[in-house]
Amino acid sequence: MNLLANDVDSHEMIPGHLLGDVLGKPGRIMGRIFEVADELRPDPTATNMHQPAIVGDVKEVDPEDIWKVKGPSAPSAIDLDRRVEVLDVMGIENQLVFPTTAIAAMMVGGMNDMAFEQRFGGDVSMFEGMSRWDFRTSFLSAYNDWVIGAPVQGDGRIRMVGIVPTSDSLDEMMATAKRLVDAGVRAVYLQADQPPGGVSPAHSSMDPFWRLLEEADVAVTLHIGTEFAFLDPRWSFAETFLDLFQSPEIPNTTIHMFATVHMAVDNYLSTMVLGGVFERFPRLRLGLLEVGAHWVGNAARRMDMYLDVFPGAAAAKFSLKPSEFMARNVRVSPFNFEPVDRYILDDPNLTDVFCYSTDYPHVEGTKDSLNNMLAKVEPLGDDVTAKFFRTNAEWLLP
């Protein structure tokens, strides 16, 4: 089947030594964090964020290796003006572009001291007297300024994702969201690990926030990298978890981390569905990205089941079942090593939920992911294939 795909999860990947040129002081500090992390646990792979030999975005866009090259040296990892050329070679029409380093900054500021020591060695000298939280705040502000400078590129094909940091103050979150929306940002990234505005996402006080994003047709996204307030890092503090996987979003992570990465997002989704957010805001668009999809069918069945267990609950009186809200409002990108064909066969009522993503230029996106995923999905028929690679994602790319 010949079709242009949509991509709901890709990234910028500016190496540490060039971050200061783009983001100023917080970028320079992040570059030093990546350098210290590499000194602590050297990463010989191409995805290492500390590669001072990289002089800029100069690698040729080569159809022979565009799916194989990964890391900060990949074409358009640094200069997004080159991303359209990459999309044309890959056969991608539209793409959401998430941060790499801003996710790391959220992680650094959000984790406790034990988790920071586990992953970065505990050295705080690079913060130039700032607290880790203040560094996080300054970095996210600088990142959003950068996104606002060019929120939509390539005639709308490339859409930069802005960040709305979680705060106990809804006014702060509203101000950030409104600034992004007014600037033309078409998707925002929320943290999955903490309740927004100091309350449940389903609390009525959050309604103005969801209404703002629904009315602007701005997609809400939850993405890997902000799980540290949800799971105590001591769960991964064991000798058997020392065989580490290097990723710029979640450096020095473990098999336990990947096995539980969906839990914060599953919780957030269940709260929104059962709490009536999609009942009140039927056009609110939610994307759950790079947290796997193995759990999605179980989440839908679990929530549907509890309507029978609690017939007096408000959710039992909503216009749709939880699984139906998911099919209408939610999109999920599976990892490209997952058997998404089995998920679709097991839960055909959720066929509209699953979307393709490249994760370009991150290594987790795997090599030749489009053909690999096509081989899984194409036997399910042209309709399912078109949905997975193209039309389902249009909900997040209005």
User: Which pLDDT does position 226 carry in this prediction?
Assistant: 78
pLDDT tens string 283-323? 999 999 999 999 999 999 999 999 999 999 999 999 999 99
Q: Which domain holds residue 50?
A: 5-396
* The residue type at 170: L
**How would you classify residue 199: left for phi > 0, otherwise alpha for psi between -120 and 50, otherwise beta?**
beta
Give residue for tokens 């994307």. 287
Got the DSSP string for 360-373?
Answer: TTSGGG-TTHHHHH
- Span 372-394, average pLDDT: 97
Give mean pLDDT, residues 138-144: 98
CB atoms within 10 A of CB 176: 19
| pLDDT recorded at residue 250 | 65
Residue 118 DSSP one-character state = H
- Residue 277, C-beta contacts closer than 8 angstroms, at least 6 positions apart: 201, 202, 206, 210, 284
CB-based contacts of 269: which residues, under 8 Å, 6+ apart? 222, 286, 288, 299, 326, 330
For 148-191, write each residue's pLDDT tens digit. 999 999 999 999 999 999 999 999 999 999 999 999 999 999 99
Check: CB of residue 271 under 8 Å from CB of residue 200: yes
Domain CATH for 169:
3.20.20.140
346 pLDDT band, cuts 50/70/90, is very high
Domain count, the chain: 1
Q: Nearest 5 degrees, angle CA 260-CA 261-CA 266? A: 90
Question: What percent of the chain has a predicted confidence (pLDDT) above 70?
Answer: 97
CA-wise closest residue to 101 among 175, 11, 36:
11
DSSP sequence for 150-218: SSEETTTTEEEEEEE---S-HHHHHHHHHHHHHTT--EEEE-SSS-GGGS-TTSGGGHHHHHHHHHTTP
Residue 46 scores a pLDDT above 90? no
Residue identified by tokens 């209408």 is 328
Angle among Cα 215, 360, 270 to the nearest 5 degrees reads 45
- Look at phi and psi of residue 203 and say left if phi exceeds 0, alpha if psi is from -120 to 50, else beta: beta
